[in-house]
Copies of this chain bind each other. A is one copy, B any other.
Amino acid sequence: MVSSWGQHLRITIFGESHGPQIGVVLDGLPPGEELDLESIQAFLRRRAPGRTPWSTARREEDSFSIVSGFYQGCTTGTPLCALLANKDVRSESYTQFQQLPRPSHADYTGWIRYAGANDPRGGGHFSGRLTAPLCLAGAIALQILSRRGVTVAARLAQIGPVQDVPLDLARPDPPLLHALTKKDFPVVDDTKGREMQAAIEAARAGGDSVGGVIQAFVLGLPPGLGDPIFGGVESRAASLLYGIPAVKGVSFGAGFQVCARRGSENNDAFCLEEGRVRTRTNNDGGLNGGITNGMPVVVNVAVKPTPSIGLPQQSVDVQAGREDTLSITGRHDPCLVPRALPAVEAALGLVFLDLFVGAYGVTGRP
């Protein structure tokens, strides 16, 4: 335990990178919600490997089938299980890692945690591949949320040393955010996007990898969602976002930048706009005391450079009990960030649908 998450809506993720199938169960979905399977498939395609030059060589169509909780085009409200097949599986290249674990990977910790019984192929249950069922669940949640006026959009805020342009956290341009969800490489400033792609390509060419930052916006939320103390949106969102492999930091609004500021500079003054309470700035990322204040929720996610790299690295042969050099052959993903981006959107979709169902009951409708 625990590959499950959620209080009112509960997702359970299962599968291994090279097993026959991976999937997800969603329990607690509002009944009678039409699902557009084409859109879900399109959402999954954004995450799928092998599609872009900056991605891994593995190719997966990520076509899915829903085997329960779905009837006559709509959710039934009973548990929805969706399955994806693993097709492009070349396991021989992974067997060495249980003996000589990859630095900064879960090879070693998984081996210890499961006393050697875990499936090591392709990272097993720890693989980034497990973000596919997360994205699938999130795509369903996002469709349902969009009918309640809520949209989520994320961008690559940073790749290696290259940063996208700053955005007004309080009043981001909705069409601009919407456009991000249609881009192959979602940045606001495409010039910066090309620099980022060059940084990825340079890393790849050097047998290396780069990290980055994803920044996501949730628009259209009513104030008053979330719970105090450990039920705050930050607690809920972080516990889910840290389920995405390679995430090492999660912050909200202005994030770690607030630490160097004074209160007078950082506080988000209240104002009235068309009769509604708003804030002038949004350093708090739309959240006070863990509860939405009606402003956009802004989340920043730090993704580390892919630990699987081509350059030789020092490791330990855990069976022989001696240090050894690890050389990974084959093409690897030089940057996980673009593929982690839809997983971040998916996670936020799940966080807020969970809260809608909690706040408004089984229909998730105010």
- Residues A316 and B211 in contact, CB atoms below 8 Å apart: no
Chain A 252-295, CB within 8 Å of chain B: the 1/0 string? 11111011111111111111100101011001110111111100
Query: How far is the CB of A117 from the nearest CB of chain B, in Å?
Result: 4
- Residues A251 and B248 in contact, CB atoms below 8 Å apart: yes
Which residues of B lie under 8 Å from residue A323 when comparing CB positions?
270-272
Chain A 200-211, CB within 8 Å of chain B: the 1/0 string? 000100111111
A103: interface (CB < 8 Å): yes
Chain A 62-79, CB within 8 Å of chain B: the 1/0 string? 000101110100111111
- Residues B76 and A262 in contact, CB atoms below 8 Å apart: no
Query: How far is the CB of A153 from the nearest CB of chain B, in Å?
Result: 20
- Residues A158 and B266 in contact, CB atoms below 8 Å apart: no
Which residues of B lie under 8 Å from residue A23 when comparing CB positions?
67-68, 81
Query: How far is the CB of A303 from the nearest CB of chain B, in Å?
Result: 7
Which residue from B105, B226, B277, B307 sits with its C-beta under 8 Å from A113?
B226
Determine how many copies of this chain the complex contains.
Answer: 4
Query: A224-B113, A235-B243, A272-B321 are known contacts. Are A69 and B210 too (CB-CB below 8 A)?
Result: no
A50: interface (CB < 8 Å): no
- Residues B258 and A248 in contact, CB atoms below 8 Å apart: yes
- Residues A3 and B118 in contact, CB atoms below 8 Å apart: no
- Residues A359 and B362 in contact, CB atoms below 8 Å apart: yes
Query: A20-B67, A158-B260, A260-B161 are known contacts. Are A79 and B125 too (CB-CB below 8 A)?
Result: yes
Other contacts beyond A109-B224, A160-B259, A232-B242: 18, CB < 8 A = A4-B27, A14-B68, A14-B80, A69-B125, A71-B118, A75-B117, A77-B115, A106-B290, A109-B226, A110-B228, A161-B260, A230-B243, A234-B248, A248-B258, A249-B250, A251-B302, A258-B305, A272-B321
Pairs across A and B, CB under 8 Å, 11 listed: A2-B227, A4-B27, A15-B67, A69-B125, A75-B117, A77-B118, A107-B288, A209-B264, A248-B256, A263-B306, A359-B362
